[in-house]
Structures are given as C-alpha cells and as structure tokens.
C-alpha cells in the first residue's frame, strides 16, 4: 500500500495485486487493532534500537530517507489525526488501525491506482524486458516487480511465504524462519497461577552463560496459561534469537514483575504462526541496500517483512516496511528517468 502510494506520488504507473479480498489484513491486527505505526525518534536512534546482529546496516539508508517522524507527518498530511504516547510511540488519534488502512485506500482510489484483490500471484517469470506475473485467471507483463508479500506469521492475513518462494525460484537464498516478538513457554507455577494478569511495569533481563546481564527491557509482562508474553518478553525473545544466531551460545531469562523474579532456563518460544514478526526471509546480502533491487534478477525489488529484516516492538516493523517500500519505488523512479 505504501509502495503504491509512493508510486502514485511519483507518477509511476503500477498495479497492486493482493491475495486477500481487502488490503491491509495484518495492519488491521497491529497493536491490538490500534496500529503503532512509528516512533518519535531520529533515524540514528531507530537504527541503534534495532540492536546487535540486526538488519541496521542494510536498512540504514532507507530509514534515513524515510525517518519515523516523516512517516507520522505523511499520515497527518493524508488527514489522519495522530497521537503520541509518553514513550514516543505514534498511533492514529482514534487508536483504530482501520484509519490507517482507509487512509491508504482513499489515497489509492483518488490517484486511480488499480487494485486487483482476492487474487494471489502464483508465479513471477523474468523475461529479457520485464516480467510475466501470473495469477490463476490472468497473466500480466510488468517492467519491474516489487515483492511485498510479508513474513509467514498469522497466515490467515495472507502472508504465507509466497514472496520468499518466488525469490527462491529466481535464485535467492532464504534465511531460515524463526519466530520474533513472541511469548515464552514456562510451567512455573508462579506464572500459571497468575494467568490472565497484566503487569505494566515489568522488567526482563537476559543473562549470558557467565551470568552477566546482556539485555534489559522495562515494559509490560502478561501471564498466560502457556507462560509469559507482553512487550518486555517479546523484545527479550527477539534479542535472544539474534544473539544465539550470532554467537551460537545459550542464555537464561529473568522476568521481574509483581515483586518477584521468574527465571526461564529453557527458552521455548511459542510457534512461528503466532509471531508478531518473522525472523529470516530473503537474504539481504543478495539485495542492494541503495535500491532494494535484487542483485540476482534486475528489475526485481523487495520491501518489508519478506526480507530478513525485523525490529523490536514500538512501530519499528511498520516503519521498516514503509522505509524499504519507499526506497524501492524511489529507485524505480530514478531508473525510469535515466534513459
Ligand atoms: C498481531 C500483530 C501485531 C503487530 N503490531 C505491530 C505494531 O503495532 N507496529 C508495528 O510496527 N508492527 C506490528 N506488527 C508487525 C507488522 O504488522 C508487519 O511487520 C508488517 O505488516 C509487515 O508489512 P509487509 O507489507 O511486509 O507485509 P504484510 O503486512 O504481511 O502484507 C503482505 C501482503 O501481501 C499479500 N500477499 C501475500 N502473498 C501474496 C500473493 N502471492 N499474491 C498477492 N498478495 C499476496 C498478503 O495478503 C498481505 O496483504 C504486528 C504484527 C502482528 C502479527
């Protein structure tokens, strides 16, 4: 949606093909239907918060050209009233994700961008001069293709991994999927007897094998029948996934809430289909960070969670999707101008 909006602004003819009957099914779910679309921080703070072993280097240029505050101003210019929480997170003022989806819908309608919904792309075939994009009912030719098909969590929203499969069939490597920003399972009775309770001022600490604190986050902790969830748990879980992949060594987690400490020794995240974000996806080493264009197939571009990019909770993932979409379309626009 964001890519199509930028294309319209730059007068690049485009068509949006969407698997689901309506646009933005996952966006409608964000922040419990409230849509935390960005955060009031500078690009440098944003990139720092992505953390060690993250996609920060790859997305740096895209984020600097589409800073989180500019995303907020962009929505305001579309008539969306916005709200800033004390911690800097931006939401639509009515805290309705539908407001954001409608803003895109209205813009694409006004700009007469064709949207083919209820229609899954089934194959992308490169030609000498462009691509054939196939669906069950028709095939169309496109000079450039931008794959923005999302990760693989919450597949009912339409993100089922098609984009990664297309990329793979065109020679791209796929970094194995892991769940990101997800709850941790524990049978600790201190947790299970509090199932259903939320603690706003919790803290999580991740300790390395030597007992040194290597990550700390203050925020919400929720007790669930399966274990622990909430922003403080999600961000600790994401940190661990990146840390263990980088270093190959294990950790333990401590959750401090309700005046007690719960130690989770064995890290068992909930299943990938429930994850807020998918870690893994199209390997960014095969994508040019200055253009979001495939280094393998010229004319093929990527944006958002289909790539191996992810951020913590707080609007970082939508900002990443928007910034990379803008970068891809700006590159296509530049190419169009160069004879
Ligand atoms: C419960 C939940 C809460 C979240 N809350 C937040 C939040 O508050 N803030 C935040 O920043 N992030 C949040 N996220 C993460 C954020 O929603 C995603 O990172 C973001 O939506 C990714 O955008 P995307 O455009 O890459 O993919 P998506 O939003 O998943 O969009 C991909 C689209 O591609 C379509 N598609 C897939 N395959 C095909 C095909 N073959 N043909 C045609 N169309 C296809 C899908 O139907 C889908 O509409 C949340 C995620 C979840 C699950």
How far is the C-alpha of 247 from the C-alpha of 149, rounded, in Å? 30
Check pLDDT > 80 for residue 127.
yes
Ligand 1 pocket, residues with Cβ under 6 angstroms: 17-20, 25-27, 29-31, 35-36, 120-121, 148-150, 153-154, 157-159, 162, 276-277, 304-306, 315-318, 321
Q: In the chain, which residues fall in CATH 3.50.50.60?
A: 2-178+273-337
What angle separates helix 97-110 from helix 25-33, to the nearest 10 degrees? 150
- Count the alpha carbons within 13 Å of 244 in the hemisphere toward its beta carbon: 16
Q: In the chain, which residues fall in CATH 2.60.40?
A: 183-269
Tokens linked to 213 = 């604190």
**String of b and e for 154-179 (b: at least 16 CB within 10 Å)?**
beebbbbbbbbebbeebebebbebbb
What's the pLDDT score for residue 123?
98
Check pLDDT > 80 for residue 70.
yes
* pLDDT tens profile 199-228: 999 999 999 989 999 999 999 999 999 999
What's the pLDDT score for residue 140?
97
What's the pLDDT score for residue 45?
98
How far is the C-alpha of 187 from the C-alpha of 262, rounded, in Å? 11
What spacing in Å lies between the alpha carbon of 180 and ligand 1's midpoint?
Answer: 13
From 150, 182, 304, the mutation candidate for ligand 1 (largest count of ligand atoms within 8 A of CB) is: 150
Model pTM greater than 0.95? yes
Percent of residues in the chain assigned helix, strand, coil, to nearest 5: 35, 25, 35
What whole-number percentage of the chain has pLDDT above 90?
A: 95
Contact assessment for residue 247 and residue 206, using Cβ atoms and an 8 Å cutoff: no
Tokens linked to 113 = 């961008």
* pLDDT tens profile 238-255: 999 999 988 888 899 999
The DSSP output letter for 307 is: B
pLDDT band, residue 265 (cuts 50/70/90) = confident
CA geometry: angle 90, 30, 101, nearest 5 deg: 80
What's the pLDDT score for residue 98?
98
Would you list the DSSP string of 206-218? EE-TTS-EEEEEE
183-269 CATH: 2.60.40
For residue 180, which phi and psi values (nearest 5 degrees)? -125, 145
Q: Alpha helix (H) ranges present in 52-91?
A: 56-65, 68-77
**Separate counts of helices (H) and strands (E) for the chain:** 10, 20
What's the pLDDT score for residue 339?
60
Check pLDDT > 70 for residue 304.
yes
2-178+273-337 CATH: 3.50.50.60
From 159, 284, 312, the mutation candidate for ligand 1 (largest count of ligand atoms within 8 A of CB) is: 159
């Amino acid at each position: 949606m964001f890519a199509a909006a930028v294309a319209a602004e730059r007068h690049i003819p485009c068509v949006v093909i969407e698997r689901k009957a309506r646009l933005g099914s996952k966006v409608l779910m964000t922040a419990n239907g409230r849509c935390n679309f960005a955060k009031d921080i500078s690009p440098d703070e944003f990139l720092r918060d992505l953390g060690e072993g993250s996609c920060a280097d790859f997305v740096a240029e895209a984020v600097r050209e589409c800073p989180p505050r500019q995303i907020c101003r962009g929505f305001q210019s579309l008539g969306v009233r916005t709200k800033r929480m004390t911690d800097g997170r931006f939401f639509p003022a009515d805290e309705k994700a539908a407001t954001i989806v409608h803003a895109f819908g209205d813009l694409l309608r006004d700009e007469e961008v064709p949207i083919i919904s209820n229609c899954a792309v089934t194959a992308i075939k490169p030609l000498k001069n462009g691509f054939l994009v196939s669906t069950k009912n028709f095939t169309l030719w496109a000079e450039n293709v931008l794959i923005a098909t999302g990760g693989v969590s919450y597949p009912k929203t339409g993100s089922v991994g098609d984009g990664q499969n297309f990329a793979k069939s065109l020679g791209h490597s796929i970094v194995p999927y892991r769940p990101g920003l997800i709850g941790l399972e524990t049978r600790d009775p201190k947790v299970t007897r509090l199932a259903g309770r939320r603690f706003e001022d919790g803290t999580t600490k991740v300790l390395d094998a030597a007992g040194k604190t290597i990550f700390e986050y203050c925020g919400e902790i929720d007790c669930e029948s399966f274990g622990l969830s909430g922003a403080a748990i999600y961000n600790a879980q994401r940190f661990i996934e990146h840390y263990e992949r980088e270093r190959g060594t294990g950790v333990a987690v401590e959750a401090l809430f309700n005046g007690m400490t719960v130690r989770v020794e064995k890290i068992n995240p909930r299943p990938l289909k429930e994850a807020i974000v998918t870690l893994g996806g199209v390997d960014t080493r095969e994508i040019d960070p200055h253009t979001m264009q495939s280094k393998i197939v010229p004319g093929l571009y990527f944006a958002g969670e289909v790539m191996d990019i992810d951020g913590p909770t707080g609007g970082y993932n939508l900002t990443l999707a928007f910034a990379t979409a803008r970068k891809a379309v700006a590159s296509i626009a530049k190419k169009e101008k160069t004879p």
